[in-house]
Structure 1
Amino acid sequence: MISLLLELLLPLSLVVLTLLVLRPYLLTRLGARTSYALWCLVPLLLLCFVLPLQLSSNSTSAVMQVYQVGLQQAEQQFSTGSLWLWLWLCGVLLFSIAVLRSQLQLHKEKAAAKSVDLKSVQLESDLPCLLSHKTQGPYISGLFKAEILLPTDFFQRFSPTQQQLIIQHELTHWRRGDLLCNLLALALLMLFWFNPLCWLAYRAYRHDQELACDALVLANACKADKIAYGKALLSNSEPTPVSWQGITTHYGDLKQMKQRLQQLQNQQGFSKTTLVAAVAAVLVAGLWLQQPAQAASATTAKNEPAPVMRVEPKYPVQAAQQQIEGYVQAKFDISAEGKVSNVRIVRSVPQATFDKVSITALEQWQYAATGHEHKDMLVRLEFAMDLLDANIERVGVIPTAKH
């Protein structure tokens, strides 16, 4: 997993940095709707690298590689790759806890809220609305059962025109699928939490989402409605966010409000030409960056993939104490990205003594990406108290040189 994330880190950083640098120009010249739509280039570029571009796979390898495992590494606990994996998993866990906590707070807020009938006040809404005393500003929440949460003073603070425009703003989020887009953005941020550019991009993406929603709501609005909407934004701004919600949509804090008000005076349409051109450029760039891997795989299609990291199995303590030696023959598959999977034991002597440690180690092995899948790779691990034969390669616990 770590190797795949590191491979995606450079192209992800490049496209994110490009969007962040061009963002002021895009907002000024092309408008918020186009700027928001261009954030789809981020998952699109990642798909170009993740999805398999080669449909063919290599034939089964019948050559068995033999390695020896000695007692010298019986106390080895972690490889460098394992350490980075655990650090990444800790970050993912903390991120997941923060998201879960925010959703639990939202669930409690919705449970304490009261339902309100907008038809009684001559307002139109396709979604149910709730009044909550904890809500600072109206926002929509819920992926499968969407609801609009309104502050208790909603009907006193805003005029009827402002009320309808605010409701339309939240409905626009729902109709465009912004909540699902936010879920995807959170998933990417969780995977790449260690990249500071991703945090900057997430904040800019959420800001552009609100700007684009404003532009769509006021696309055909008169000047009076725009003024009323601007006053509603000012009335609803927050000096600092009360709580962080990753999936729901908020009107924004006071720092963002200035740009939102400025953007109301610079409404632009949606440039389909720019979006299509940008998507085409990303696809071409993705295919071009894949060419070296495709060329390498074409020349080595009939050869075995080169190992880049092999983790030595830990000699079982009980077997070492009883001076038990033996071997394990195993098969496994190698993905186009070089990741080992589907490890199974073919034969082991003594039976089941070294199986568990062998599977654990083999699952961490990494091979050079070839763009092709390799099925049923065969390996034999010799477990001995002392080195068996100088001609047999010893499994290394650090990345080894390519053959």
Structure 2
Amino acid sequence: MSDAPDLLLELNAALALAVTIVLALRTPARRVFGPRAAYGLWGVVPLTLAAVCLPRMAAGSVVASSTLSLIPGQLIVAVWGAGAIAFAGLMMAHQMRFAALARQGLAGPAVTGVIVPRLVMPAHSDIRWSPEERALIRAHEHAHLERGDLRVNAVVALLQCLFWCNPWAHIAVSRFRFDQELACDAQVLAVRPGRRRVYAEALLKAGQTRATPLGCGWGDASGTLETRIASFRLNRHSPTPVAVAVVLGLALGVAATAWALQPATVEASDDPRPKILNLRLSPPEA
């Protein structure tokens, strides 16, 4: 495996490749297979990153000099680590700000908390939404808990901290969170097909709010309400075997490509002595 600076470069390049592919395919996949299958496309990203971490050995090959050789490797790792810690601090400050607003009744609807999840509703919810609308909101947030979205978002937040200097990471998180909400909408409406209008009215009353890093918000601001409401007409059922096969095949293909494109590592020889090339010369022709 390459050293730390080179590995960081390879991981960031793989992230950009995987995110670009997902961004290009998420909308067509949503129209053909439904929001839940489109959300599954995001599995391409962590699988690609994991593939890059696997070594690719090549005996007898020549390793090109590092593209980061002009900068001390320890300095690169130190700057990257400091940025990741600072970005994590900003996330925690955002999470604490949300908790303070929740105590004042100014946040939500949302679910938050990885270890002990809880539902957050704004003050005067019984006035803003009808009982049927509140039931749909609770069903939506309960679906997040059933699907494990809080734990998934915690992993996504960690990756965002690790790739703090990569703009593709921040673009990906925004689109990922929106696709997560669409998939959750589809799961709720799959068992309540006659509640699309009430569901849309509840969304419009809530407006758009930014979800916390360690939570799932009802009105995520990373996408438009028009797109979200329009997705109610798409396929809301679980992905078909064809959709699962397409998504899985794409994920494996991108991961294999990223793994094959990374520089090969030369196997170190156990014998430190120089190799002697023995040539047999043929006698000159008469």
- Which TM-score band (shorter chain)? 0.7 to 0.9
* 1:1-400 equivalences in 2 (<5 Å): 1-51=4-54, 80-109=72-101, 112=103, 133-135=105-107, 137-223=108-194, 225-238=195-208, 241=209, 245-250=212-217, 251-253=219-221, 256-269=224-237, 270-287=239-256, 290=259, 297=266, 300=267, 302=269
Q: Which residue of structure 2 lines up, in the alignment, with residue 372 of structure 1?
A: none
Bigger helix fraction: 2
Q: Which residue of structure 1 lines up, in the alignment, with residue 279 of structure 2?
A: none
- Give CA deviations for 1:230-288 in whole Å, capped at 9, x if unaligned: 000000013xx4x6621211122395211111111223432343333332343355346
Percent of aligned positions that are identical: 29
- Give CA deviations for 1:210-231 in whole Å, capped at 9, x if unaligned: 01100100002233x1110100
Higher RCO (Cα < 8 Å, 6 or more apart): 2
How many residues in Structure 1 have an aligned counterpart in Structure 2? 256
User: Match of 1:93, as an amino acid?
Assistant: I
Whole-Å Cα distance in 2 between the matches of residues 285 and 258 of structure 1?
31
Cα distance, 1:292–1:219 mapped onto 2, change above 3 Å: closer
Matched-pair contact (CA < 8 Å) for 2:112–2:150? yes
Structure 1 unaligned segments of length 5 or more: list them. 55-77, 113-131, 306-403
- TM-score of the two chains, using structure 1 as the length reference: 0.57
User: Match of 2:27, as an amino acid?
Assistant: P
User: Match of 1:134, as an amino acid?
Assistant: L
Cα distance, 1:214–1:291 mapped onto 2, change above 3 Å: closer
Q: Which residue of structure 1 lines up, in the alignment, with residue 62 of structure 2?
A: none
Per the TM alignment, residue 296 of structure 1 is displaced from its structure 2 partner at its CA by: 5.8
Q: Which residue of structure 2 lines up, in the alignment, with residue 117 of structure 1?
A: none
- Give CA deviations for 1:96-118 in whole Å, capped at 9, x if unaligned: 111111222234345x3xxxxxx
Larger Rg: 1
SS in 2 for 1:186: helix
- TM-score of the two chains, using structure 2 as the length reference: 0.79
Matched-pair contact (CA < 8 Å) for 2:27–2:38? no
- Give CA deviations for 1:152-207 in whole Å, capped at 9, x if unaligned: 21111212211111100000001100011111111111111221111111100000
Matched-pair contact (CA < 8 Å) for 2:26–2:39? no
Whole-Å Cα distance in 2 between the matches of residues 193 and 174 of structure 1?
27
